[in-house]
Structure 1
Amino acid sequence: MIERSSGILMHITSLPSPYGIGTFGKEAYAFVDFLKKAGQNYWQLLPLGPTSFGDSPYQSFSSFAGNPYFIDLETLVEEGLLEWEDIQNIDFGRDREKIDYGKLYMNRFSILKKAFLLGREKFKQSLESFRLENSDWLEDYGLYMAVKVWFGMKSWKDWDEDIKLREEKALERYQKELANEIEYWMFLQYLFFKQWKKLKKYANDKGIRIIGDIPIYVAEDSADAWANSEIFFLDEKKNPVTIAGCPPDYFSEIGQLWGNPIYRWDLLEERNYDWWIERIRGNFRLYDILRIDHFRGLESFWEIPFGSKTAATGRWVKGPGMKLFRAVKEQLGNIDIIAEDLGHLTQEVIDFRKESEYPGMKVLQFAFDTREESDYLPHNYEKNCVVYTGTHDNDTIMGWMNTANKLDVEHAKEYLNLTEDEGYHWGFLRGVWSSVGALAIAPMQDFLGLGSEHRMNIPSTIGGNWQWRVKKEDLTDGLAAKIYRFTKRYGR
């Protein structure tokens, strides 16, 4: 069980940077210092994988690779792979509080290509070691990205039939013809892991542990689905038979149509869950604790026929349950996992989470629905849980106060004894930090008292999400000192 402690949720993308997006550069180290001054033990991130259409970290080109956007360009200058002129006066986006992914995509990769041309020889030996250490996924990812570029970034479903179906002659031909491009994409992974490993060590040495996030599903357009298509329900043309989502709930009246391919859990069981175990093993190279998104989907998942217009046409299907985690424990030992057990919870899901002994999640923002008694009210918490003001999918606390049902807001004010003098967001933070839950976490936006325009994501919408960035001048020593006093007051 996690000891009584606390942390802050803020993704790498949201860090300050003059290069359009947060990176593993000096501002990341400065944020670790901020966490230390604020008395925090944890930094929670969203998935670190390379993002695809829509820019969601939950729809990645790979379950194993890292996002090249996070590679710090100034570090590459210091290593002699770039000149200062290469990274200055480039339009990566002018808004310090929002990411312009279009400009990043257009302007960043050509700079990284220049670093590759110098770095491939400079780091030749360590590159080869990295390649050998990660051969189980890196070769497939490099080929997938190279072929994807060759076909104008189209989904692998729209590639020529021979390479789409991974015919042996086609694999050999593209490996030969695109050798340079394959090497480039693998080089970017080398830089990503090299920089991340250094940053994580800095955080760990300061007493800050990293909480990572693993989506339960992989993107349909991913190296995972292309290179391991046999473990998904796909037809002979590699099109999905069924897809993932979730039924109507708090976030959406028609449910959420995620579109991810569904696992063939029967085949994975026969293989002792080998691919999933390697996926978890890979994530623990990145993080100290792993939050499994949509954990309830491992007990039962919402399966939707391919081609459905909404998620409402789906049905519940049994997942692997404890069989998966017994195999994980057998292969990886005791590992620190947080179970994201939000959403529609049956008694079977509750029992599954308890049997796993992993801490579940409580979200205080969900507690104040006046139509029913809520398990999310702090007096119902148990110690073995992680308590949040909200997650990346929630509105900010100040946004919720301004947009939620008035009766629900009054309920929150009365229950938490909220006052304008204290600040409503600080009242919510008090509710989380003073609770019995072992670990308390809040998004950075809630410490800053920001409104709805600064939320990270609106589920079931495309465009305008994952863009929020913190301003450097907002991460003050004064705020860190206030969070420190607040954290000490509640014994965290």
Structure 2
Amino acid sequence: MPKNYFTIAIFINWVIIRKRTFCGTANRWRHTMKRSSGVLLHISSLPNDFGIGSFGQSAYDFVDFLVESEQSYWQILPLTTTSYGDSPYQSFSAFAGNTHFIDFELLAEAGLLEKADYENIPFSQNPESVDYARIFNLRRPVLEKAVQRFIERGDFSDYETFHQENHDWLEPFVEYMTVKEDHELKPWYEWPEALRYRHHDALEVYHRDYQPQLNYHRVTQYFFAKQWQALKNYANRKKIQIIGDLPIYVARDSVEMWTQPELFKVDETKTPTNIAGTPPDNFTEDGQFWGNPIYDWNYMAEQEYAWWKHRIVESFKLYDVLRFDHFRGFESYWDVPYGAETAAEGDWTKGPGLSFFQNIEASLGELSIIAEDLGFMTDAVIEMREATGYPGMKILQFGFTGKGDSLDLPHHYKENTVAYVGTHDNETALGWYKDSASPEQRKQLRKYLNLSLTDNIPAAMNRAIAASVSRLAIYTMQDLLGLDNRARMNEPSTLGHNWQWRMTADAIDDELTERLKDMTETFFRQRTEAEIFDEAEVAEEYMPD
């Protein structure tokens, strides 16, 4: 009998009951998606006075901007917690939300904070950049006050429902974070042995003596869920769909590795035997170490991918459309032996393949998924993507090689694709043109787009993807604002300066709104009135005035 047979049985019964929800109109998205467009801007990049973007007024204002400019989608990065390197792709949990996004003004409107609790705190020295160390230290005391007032108020009916519905992932996360904080935030594999191996007596001490800490993590996850669902409801009711990102891997320093090591390739000490990475290429002769543990796909298949189904169900509570990060890794992935000197020592290893997606959709119905099919593509990966029917991605920056034709140039695009000038991992359009593009690439771009030396490069590249046949075009906010690489979100394989860019409070004005609206109408990407799957329709809302 499987180790977690009881949990799997409960989950499968839940899926059967809820399957009809996932077979509604939203799940025919990839067949019925009309010609449309949207904007990529992560929550952290929204402006406010709290050091990092939040679910507050500026988020609602951004939805209004999308509506006024005739957009249909808001794409964001993962909403999960951040850990090493501040990356949303290296999270302490595959399920828990990033409490940095909880808005203080909304908590004040709910009677859980006074303005004096947060108004004069210097959360940021630079409104255009997130200082993660500063907000990590300064936000916590404010949230602790809100949690304490929430507990003193004693109105727990809605909170108890949240706790009951999310118990399976919430309680392990709460336990994990409480122990982690008690050990100077060290990763779980550096904790004392009794805690590493989750001995009952060792954990019982925390449940007996650390109730304030446990409750802090429970209640802040509740705050996160309430505020996000209210914002998502607002967007959905204005016919804006949320595109969210689903990282393929979890971090080694995560609650999943601590509590469910059987899901991964590990030895008897729960140490990974294999880790994820990328092979050598034109940019890195040794390849890249990602460091994430590799899944034990054989074990997962035996369990009918129950953990993945749970993760996907929870993700569709947060998002309307899921972008599957590193889609090619489901066909085959770069498998590096743990302890290898470089990632070049790895090998391509077969993943679960098409059967994974067939199994998922047999249980959950047809899902609204975008395949992040970037990187080293093979015929097998392309065949898997085509068999799923998921739209892939096209990146315009990649098209201008300066050497000739490319499948990333718009004349090769197909309808069932999502077009980008660049993603969060790329340079901005202006930054790429100024800092990285060769003279040959610049010449090819100007000739292809019929530009003079003085034309606006980001605007021209945005128009190129807007004019393409791709059903969906996504513009980064940085490119709409014409910003250079100082606004770049992430430079892969580097640490210390990523995920920091923030938009200024006055960045969006009437001129930008009209310009985006005009481009949307010119290339027939106006908003549609399609029905939108809304898991949280009946949720009580915290909404700004």
Bin of the TM-score, shorter chain as denominator length: over 0.9
Identify the residue that residue 159 of structure 1 maps to in structure 2.
191
* Residue identity matched to 1:34: F
Identify the residue that residue 429 of structure 2 maps to in structure 1.
397
Question: Does residue 347 in structure 1 map to residue 382 in structure 2?
Answer: no
Residues 271-420 of structure 1 aligned to structure 2 (within 5 Å): 271-371=303-403, 373-403=405-435, 404-420=437-453
Question: Does residue 146 in structure 1 map to residue 178 in structure 2?
Answer: yes
Identify the residue that residue 297 of structure 2 maps to in structure 1.
265
Q: CA deviation at 1:230?
A: 0.9
Task: Provide runs of 4+ in structure 1 moved above 6 Å.
Answer: none
Identify the residue that residue 467 of structure 1 maps to in structure 2.
500
Aligned residue pair count:
492
Q: CA deviation at 1:430?
A: 1.0
Confirm or deny: 8 A CA contact 2:402 2:442 kept in the other structure: no
Confirm or deny: 8 A CA contact 1:210 1:287 kept in the other structure: yes
Q: CA deviation at 1:419?
A: 3.3
Question: Does residue 424 in structure 1 map to residue 457 in structure 2?
Answer: yes
Structure 1 pair 315–455 and aligned structure 2 pair: CA distance change class (3 A):
same
Q: Structure 1: give runs of 5+ residues left out of the alignment.
A: none
Q: CA deviation at 1:194?
A: 0.1
Structure 2: distance between partners of 1:409 and 1:312: 33
1:294-315 deviation digits (Å, cap 9, x = unpaired) = 0000000111111234322211
Structure 2: distance between partners of 1:484 and 1:172: 58
Structure 1: distance between partners of 2:117 and 2:280: 49
Structure 2: distance between partners of 1:348 and 1:43: 31
Q: CA deviation at 1:420?
A: 4.9
Confirm or deny: 8 A CA contact 2:97 2:221 kept in the other structure: yes
- Alignment partner of 2:499: what SS? coil
| Residue number among 74, 93, 101 corresponding to 2:124 in the alignment | 93
* Residue identity matched to 1:111: V
Q: CA deviation at 1:247?
A: 1.7
1:119-176 deviation digits (Å, cap 9, x = unpaired) = 1243422221111000110000000000000111000011111111122332333222
Structure 1 pair 250–51 and aligned structure 2 pair: CA distance change class (3 A):
farther
Structure 1 pair 358–218 and aligned structure 2 pair: CA distance change class (3 A):
same
Structure 1 pair 171–330 and aligned structure 2 pair: CA distance change class (3 A):
farther
Q: CA deviation at 1:331?
A: 1.7
- Alignment partner of 1:254: what SS? coil
- Alignment partner of 2:86: what SS? coil
Identify the residue that residue 22 of structure 2 maps to in structure 1.
none
Confirm or deny: 8 A CA contact 2:402 2:443 kept in the other structure: no
* Residue identity matched to 1:425: P
Question: Does residue 232 in structure 1 map to residue 267 in structure 2?
Answer: no
Identify the residue that residue 114 of structure 2 maps to in structure 1.
83
1:357-405 deviation digits (Å, cap 9, x = unpaired) = 0000000000011345321111111110000000000000000111212
Q: CA deviation at 1:422?
A: 4.2
| Residue number among 59, 67, 84 corresponding to 1:53 in the alignment | 84
Confirm or deny: 8 A CA contact 2:124 2:131 kept in the other structure: yes
Q: CA deviation at 1:250?
A: 5.8
Structure 1: distance between partners of 2:396 and 2:282: 14
Structure 1: distance between partners of 2:285 and 2:461: 27
Identify the residue that residue 11 of structure 1 maps to in structure 2.
42
Question: Does residue 489 in structure 1 map to residue 522 in structure 2?
Answer: yes
* Residue identity matched to 2:79: L
- Alignment partner of 1:412: what SS? helix
Confirm or deny: 8 A CA contact 2:353 2:384 kept in the other structure: yes
Identify the residue that residue 237 of structure 2 maps to in structure 1.
205
Identify the residue that residue 485 of structure 2 maps to in structure 1.
452
Alignment identity in percent?
A: 49
Q: CA deviation at 1:222?
A: 0.8
Identify the residue that residue 132 of structure 1 maps to in structure 2.
164
Structure 1: distance between partners of 2:284 and 2:369: 27
Identify the residue that residue 480 of structure 1 maps to in structure 2.
513
- Alignment partner of 1:308: what SS? coil
Structure 2: distance between partners of 1:385 and 1:339: 9
Structure 1 pair 477–252 and aligned structure 2 pair: CA distance change class (3 A):
farther
- Alignment partner of 2:317: what SS? coil
1:331-380 deviation digits (Å, cap 9, x = unpaired) = 21111000000000010000000001000000000001134532111111
1:3-43 deviation digits (Å, cap 9, x = unpaired) = 11000000000000111010000000000001111110000
1:191-224 deviation digits (Å, cap 9, x = unpaired) = 0000000000000111110000010000111112
| Residue number among 51, 54, 58 corresponding to 1:20 in the alignment | 51
**Relative contact order: is structure 1 or structure 2 higher (C-alpha 8 Å, sep ≥ 6)?**
2
1:67-118 deviation digits (Å, cap 9, x = unpaired) = 0000000111111111111101112112010011111011001110111111
Structure 1: distance between partners of 2:224 and 2:337: 37
* Residue identity matched to 2:498: N
* Residue identity matched to 2:465: V
| Residue number among 98, 101, 114 corresponding to 1:70 in the alignment | 101
- Give TM-score scaled by structure 2 length: 0.89
Structure 2: distance between partners of 1:397 and 1:437: 19
- Alignment partner of 2:313: what SS? helix
Question: Does residue 222 in structure 1 map to residue 270 in structure 2?
Answer: no
Residues 233-252 of structure 1 aligned to structure 2 (within 5 Å): 233-249=265-281, 252=284
1:279-302 deviation digits (Å, cap 9, x = unpaired) = 111100000000011000000011
Q: CA deviation at 1:249?
A: 3.7
RMSD over equivalenced CA pairs, Å: 1.2
* Residue identity matched to 1:240: P
Structure 2: distance between partners of 1:259 and 1:413: 40
Identify the residue that residue 434 of structure 1 maps to in structure 2.
467
Q: CA deviation at 1:55?
A: 0.4
- Alignment partner of 1:263: what SS? coil
Structure 2: distance between partners of 1:194 and 1:120: 16
- Alignment partner of 2:329: what SS? helix
Identify the residue that residue 16 of structure 2 maps to in structure 1.
none
Structure 2: distance between partners of 1:171 and 1:486: 58
Confirm or deny: 8 A CA contact 2:402 2:438 kept in the other structure: no
